[in-house]
Amino acid sequence: MNQQAPAVSHQEALIYAMVTISASDRQMTDRELMKIGDVVATLPVFQGFDGGRLVEVASACGTLLQDDDGLEKVLDIIAGSLPARLYDTAYAVSVEVAAADLHVEQEELRFLQMLRDRLDLDKLTIAAIERGARARYRTDG
């Protein structure tokens, strides 16, 4: 992690990953925002997190993303703030948010690639997470 990237809690780092994937295509859809709130409210990793802080944390991430090297800073914060055991969780929650609006944009795919590279996730883990999301968000049409 570089010197300019302050550490945040692991829960905040996971929120940063979700906010960044949502903002990557410059359109944070209602479905994506609802998915972020749902993930924070329901996943055990967020137990004890004050849901009232979600907007504050998301806003802090958004502010960082506005910097010239904001995406790199956010990736540094995510990687530097998470224990290795939560790397796959960060990728999984990011995939959940990307899939929430049933269409993944090129910019979202690019962020996912950057995230998995930064977190050094193995191909089998990546494939399993992505396959699970496809199964959950598949439509009958």
The pLDDT of residue 100 is 85
Residue 46: the pLDDT is 97
Taking the model in full, what pTM does it have? Answer: 0.92
Ramachandran class of 26: left when φ > 0, alpha when ψ lies in -120 to 50, beta otherwise: left
pLDDT score at 1: 43
Q: What is the CATH number of domain 10-137?
A: 1.10.3680
* Under 8 Å between Cβ of 62 and 19: yes
Q: What is the pLDDT of residue 30?
A: 82
Give the start-to-end residue ranges of the domains of the chain: 10-137
Report the pLDDT value the prediction gives residue 2, as an integer from 0 to 100: 45
Helices (H), the chain: 10-23, 30-42, 54-65, 70-81, 87-99, 106-118, 123-137
Give the residues of the chain that fall short of pLDDT 70. 1-6, 141
